[in-house]
């Protein structure tokens, strides 16, 4: 375990936030990534 991590850290509560992308956002992001890869290869 990391020496900077103390028992006090482990006792703290955590807040977890999850954001889900819409199918349209996923398609748009995949298209951007593919264009970036194609640009780098050329």
- Say what the pLDDT of residue 39 is: 55
- Say what the pLDDT of residue 35 is: 52
Token pair of 31 as six digits:
């298209």
- Say what the pLDDT of residue 42 is: 45
Q: What share of the chain is helix, strand, coil (3-state, %, to 5)?
A: 55, 0, 45
Q: Is residue 26 part of a domain?
A: yes
**Domain span including residue 24:** 10-41
pTM: 0.31
Q: Is residue 33 part of a domain?
A: yes
Name, in order, each residue with C-beta under 8 angstroms of 18's C-beta and a sequence gap of 6 or more. Answer: none
CB-based burial label for 17 (10 Å; 0-12, 13-18, 19+): exposed
Q: Is residue 31 part of a domain?
A: yes
Q: Is residue 2 part of a domain?
A: no
CA atoms within 13 A on the CB side of 19: 3
Reported as a single tens digit per residue, the pLDDT across 2-41 is 889 899 999 999 999 998 889 888 878 766 655 555 555 4
């Amino acid at each position: 375990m990391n020496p900077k991590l103390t028992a006090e850290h482990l006792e703290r509560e955590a807040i977890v936030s999850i954001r889900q992308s819409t199918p349209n956002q996923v398609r748009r992001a995949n298209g951007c990534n593919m264009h970036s890869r194609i640009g780098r290869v050329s």
